[in-house]
Amino acid sequence: MAFYYTEPSRTFNEFLLLPNLTTKECTPQNVDLSTPITKFKKGEKPAISLNIPFSSAVMQAVSDHHMAVALAQCGGISFIFGSQSIESQATMVRKAKAYKAGFVVSRSNLTPSHTLKDILELKEQTGHSTVAITEDGSAKGKLLGIVTGRDYRISRDSLDKPVSEIMTPFSSLIVGKSGLSLSEANDLIWEHKLNCLPIVDENQNLDFLVFRKDYDSRKNNPHSLLDANKSYIVGAGINTKDYKERVPALVEAGVDVLVIDSSDGFSEWQKDTVQYVKENYDNVYIGAGNVVDKEGFRYLVEAGADFIKVGIGGGSICITREQKGIGRGQASAVIEVAAARDEYFKETGIYVPICSDGGIVHDYHVTLALAMGADFVMLGRYFARFDESPTKKVKIGNNFVKEYWGEGSNRARNWQRYDTGGKQSLVFEEGVDSYVPYAGSLRENMDRTLHKIKSTMCNCGSLSITELQQKARITLVSATSLVEGGAHDVILKESSMAAE
């Protein structure tokens, strides 16, 4: 006989937080939103923690290298979409990792015998306008010169002009010596009005480049999510079909965290994928999912997953529930999986973070997800609205919108995400092709969202996500209280009237 849950499947809309005492220290500027993304043992620290509890969805319409950099600058992580060629995805990871805070290992290098054509082709490939010219064309070779956009004019210089005639030679460069601090490097940049300072060793071999623009970036992005080498931490999505080819390429490109992208993660295919990564790579972390209950959580954790993604059918462009009758209200899923996570922690002393993926419409839903036990959230529609997402901005009527489609739509052609060992194509859709209202820059919107979350946490008397999860008081709401919670029994002014 089938098992029946007697409790309804509930969404975030059905809950509200009750305030606790707000002490004088509970102000938004005192709230710490850091949170783990990789599992860790009791008494130890996680290998990677986010500075804000946000990740962007593994979607063509959301997460490319531009989003990866923009979100990492805010303190979150982006998972670059995997429904593309292995080479293309690895290139995106490399580009995101190349945006380095501080000392940069040169990613664009040529020899003096190369030509202007090679310079232009490299610039097109990497987006870098500064090219280090070394004796052997390597990132660590003997530095002979530098080429920037100021060293040539495409309208006048021949494409076959050798780099040796274009570059600023080493003898004319201001350089720093290996071992100097970042502060000392920045002093040289400002003293000599440089845009780029090469750092070389005693044999003139290139170690790093330090850029003026990175100084401004660091000042403007104090919560940037960085690795030990001051590169942005970057995630990437994989599937359970070509992982043995895709994972090595992504690791070589420098990826920090992987996640298996699937609508249903409670499968032997996910177990095999997680175990492959764990058996072959020591310092690569992998999340698995999606699941909606204790059984799914346990299965993937015991396979070795570093974090678990929670939610089926709750995304704004997801129609899995409609098409297959599979899924669960996002609040119910998070509550049960969080309880399973806490139970596992008590049994083993190992804490496995969980990510709430889907079901978030309003900013306060993020705070609810965290209060219910999620360590961080994954959002698609939220990020798809911004300048940094990879989709087109178009005008419909008098409004600007951005394209937004699901990985389960025919447009995405991501059959690997939904394959269960059958036909290698998408037989039916589990996502739609749509638009979302254009919202401007990520930073502007993210700052507003973060302030709302911090303000709500202060109302709950909490200065950290862990404290919120311990102190939160959550109540179910009725249909009539939902009406009461919005503007009601008044005549709202039209925007034209308000302008007068």
Choosing from 26, 298, 417, 458, the catalytic residue is 417
Local confidence band at 421 (pLDDT 50, 70, 90 cut-offs): low
Q: What percent of the chain has pLDDT over 70?
A: 87
Residue 110 forms beta bridges with which residues? 133
Task: Give the pLDDT mean for 476-480.
Answer: 83
Beta-carbon count within 10 A of 16 CB: 16
CB-side exposure of 171: number of CA atoms within 13 Å?
0
Residues 31-71 have pLDDT tens digits of 999 999 999 999 999 999 999 999 999 999 999 999 999 99
Q: Is pLDDT larger for residue 59 or for residue 99?
A: 59
Select from 363, 460, 213, 313 the least CA-distant residue to 221. Answer: 213
Looking at the predicted structure, is the pLDDT value of residue 235 above 90? yes
Which domains are delineated in the chain?
12-100+222-478 (3.20.20.70), 103-213 (3.10.580.10)
pLDDT of residue 155: 84
> For residue 487, what pLDDT is reported?
65
Catalytic (active site) residue 458: no
User: Can you give the pLDDT at residue 334?
Assistant: 98
Of residues 145 and 3, more confidence is placed in 145
Helix (H) or strand (E) holding 433, with range, is: strand 433-437
**pLDDT, tens digit, for every residue of 128-187?**
889 999 999 988 899 999 999 889 988 888 999 999 999 999 999 999 998 887 788 889
Distance CA 58, CA 265 (A): 14
Return the pLDDT at 488. Answer: 64
**Which amino acid, residue 196?**
C
Annotated binding site: 261-263, 311-313, 315, 318
- With a cut of 60, say whether residue 411 has pLDDT above it: no
Tell me what pLDDT residue 241 has. 92
110 closest CA partner among 171, 151, 157: 151
Residue 265 has pLDDT above 60, yes or no: yes
Phi, psi of 464 (to 5 degrees): -150, 165
The reported pLDDT for the residue numbered 319 is 61
**Among 26, 74, 196, 318, the one annotated catalytic:** 318
- Binding residues for NAD(+), by number, are 261-263, 311-313
pTM of the full predicted structure?
0.76
Give the model's pLDDT for residue 207.
87
Residue 234 near residue 77 (C-beta atoms within 8 A): yes
Query: Is the pLDDT reported for residue 90 higher than 60?
Result: yes
Answer yes or no: 417 catalytic: yes
- pLDDT tens profile 313-358: 766 556 666 666 788 999 999 999 999 999 999 999 999 999 999 9
Q: 3-class DSSP state for residue 95?
A: helix
- Report pLDDT for 65: 93
Hey, is 134 helix, strand or coil? strand
* Annotated binding-site positions for K(+): 313, 315, 318
Give first-to-last CA distance, the chain, whole Å.
Answer: 66
Q: HSE (CB half, 13 Å, CA atoms) of 148? A: 10
Residue 420 has pLDDT above 50, yes or no: yes
The alpha carbon torsion through 413, 414, 418, 422 (nearest 10 deg) reads 70
Q: Give the DSSP letter of residue 406.
A: -
Confidence band of 499 (pLDDT split at 50, 70, 90): very low
Residue 409: both structure tokens together: 């739509």
- pLDDT at 216 (0 to 100): 64
As a residue count, the chain comes to 500
290: preceding bond cis by omega (within 30 degrees): yes
Note the pLDDT tens digit of each residue in 460-470: 999 999 999 99
